[in-house]
Structure 1
Amino acid sequence: MMFGDSYCYTGGKTFDPALPTVVMIHGAQNDHSVWALQSRYLAHHGFGVLALDLPGHGRSRGPALRSVGEIADWLLGLLDAAGVTSAALVGHSMGALIALETAHRAPERITRLALLGATYPMKVSDTLLDAALNAEGDAIDMVTIWSHSSYAQKPSFPGPGFYASGMTKHLMERISAQGEPQLFHTDFTACNSYANGDSAAASVRCPVQFIFGSKDMMTPPRSTKALLAALPGARTVTVDAGHQMMAEQPDAVLDALLAFLR
């Protein structure tokens, strides 16, 4: 479904803003398809789903936005265009920062926050930033390797017909081919420069759930202590996966989301 220049996948159902709305926000160099194994189920079980493509990603027209704050403002405008007065936000990695900042800017509109693969500060290494700027193929290879546990590698991946790390790599390559130059660097810079996490976390009044991957090398559990301390009432679920947990452990992630959203 298009809202102006912005595309949202609705899980195979016509979007109905009268249903409880779940907005699903992808991470760097990704699009709505990272939620394919959760969004469709939610849409067919009582939720209105908007799995969005950020500006300049996937089917949403650009340009890509340069900061988490800009994207949060864009997201609130998207909710207006969709006729949504309140929503639960589900964000992965960079998307988790966007969800957190959106809840800070419009706390009265956000009913729940589910943060997957989240940490703050979300610092990106100089090596990865340089690769994203000057050798994007190398950056894609790095992120592909670091985003998956060994469990996800073919042929041991539990989802028939899916090859998690191959899917991740090809998605990032497709986004690179379709998007503006250095899009990966733009996304990583937005993560790296986001500095409002402490204030945003302190302002959250809705229920919060973290979903962590026990083998996550991009946002490892040890890096999340500050964010957990800033949200002491949050629920925490850990799944046996790397950073791309939605593909590696789709059922475990869906079960955690359902229990939280209901």
Structure 2
Amino acid sequence: MIVQVQGVDAYCYTGGKPFNAAQPTAIFIHGAQNDHSVWCLQTRYFAHHGFNVLALDLPGHGRSKGRACTSVEAMAAWVLHVMDAVGVDKALMIGHSMGSLIALEASHMAPARVSQLAMLGTTYPMKVSDALLATSRDDEQAAIDMVNIFSHSSIAQNPACPTPGLHVMGGARRLMQRMSQINPEHLFYTDFSACNAYANGEVAAAAVPCPVLFIFGTKDMMTPARSTKTLTGAIAHGKVVMVDAGHSLMAEQPDAVLGALYGFALKTSL
């Protein structure tokens, strides 16, 4: 589904179902150099089991037009504009990595509009190493290769890929390459810079009133569990779920992630 946000096309994947504003809505927000497709299993299940789904392509990513936003705050405001354009007053927000910061900031900007908050592969501050930041600016393909290696717990998932027919690492690498082809304006560097500069996370976390779920990968090298204490400490009522995966936990452990998300959505929406 394509909607107009401030005169520019914004793409929202609905999980193969027509949008129905009468149902509860789940908004899925991807991370850096990605698009809505990173949520392929989770979004289709939600859409076919009682939820309205909006899996967003952020500006400059995937099928959404316009230039990429340069700050987490601008991306959060854009998500709220999408809600306005679609006619959704309140939604469960689910974000991965950079997307988790966007969801967190959106809940700070408009707490009445976020019914539940799920943050996957998150941390705060979400600092990017100087070496990776420079590589994303000067050699995007090298940065893609670095992040792809760092984001997965192994070259091949054992005992086999959890999604038949899908090469997890190859698919992730190709998706990031496609984002570079769609938007050659240093997209990875723009996204990483936004994560690196975001400074409102602790304040936003301390103010979250709604139910919160954290999902962390036990083998995550990008946002390791030891770095998450600021957020989990600030949101003492948040539930923590650990899955046996790296940073790309939705692809490496799709069923475990789906089970945690859907159980949280059902329990906290009652």
Return the TM-score normalized by structure 1. 0.98
Aligned to 1:162: 166
Written as runs of structure 1 = structure 2, the 5 A alignment for 1:1-262 is 1-4=1-4, 5-150=9-154, 152-153=156-157, 156-262=160-266
Could you list the runs of 5+ residues in structure 1 that have no partner in the other structure? Answer: none
Secondary structure of the residue that 1:66 maps to in structure 2? coil
Instruction: Label 1:154 to 1:58 Cα distance change in 2 as closer, same or farther (>3 A).
Output: farther
Matches of 2:22 and 2:84, distance apart in 1:
14
Deviations 1:136-160, CA, capped at 9 Å, x for gaps: 0110000000000117448832321
Deviations 1:71-120, CA, capped at 9 Å, x for gaps: 11111110000000000000000000000000000001100000000000
Matches of 1:58 and 1:36, distance apart in 2:
14
Matches of 2:158 and 2:132, distance apart in 1:
26
Aligned amino acid, residue 24 of structure 1: F
Secondary structure of the residue that 1:205 maps to in structure 2? coil
Matches of 2:155 and 2:33, distance apart in 1:
23
CA drift at 1:180: 3.5
- Count of aligned positions: 262
Aligned amino acid, residue 208 of structure 1: V
Matches of 2:158 and 2:217, distance apart in 1:
19
CA contact (8 A) 1:153 1:165 kept: no
Secondary structure of the residue that 1:242 maps to in structure 2? coil
Matches of 2:147 and 2:160, distance apart in 1:
20
Could you list the runs of 5+ residues in structure 2 that have no partner in the other structure? Answer: none
Aligned amino acid, residue 56 of structure 1: G
Matches of 2:184 and 2:148, distance apart in 1:
20
Return the TM-score normalized by structure 2. 0.95
Secondary structure of the residue that 1:23 maps to in structure 2? strand
Secondary structure of the residue that 1:113 maps to in structure 2? strand
Identical columns (%): 61
Secondary structure of the residue that 1:150 maps to in structure 2? coil
Aligned amino acid, residue 27 of structure 1: G
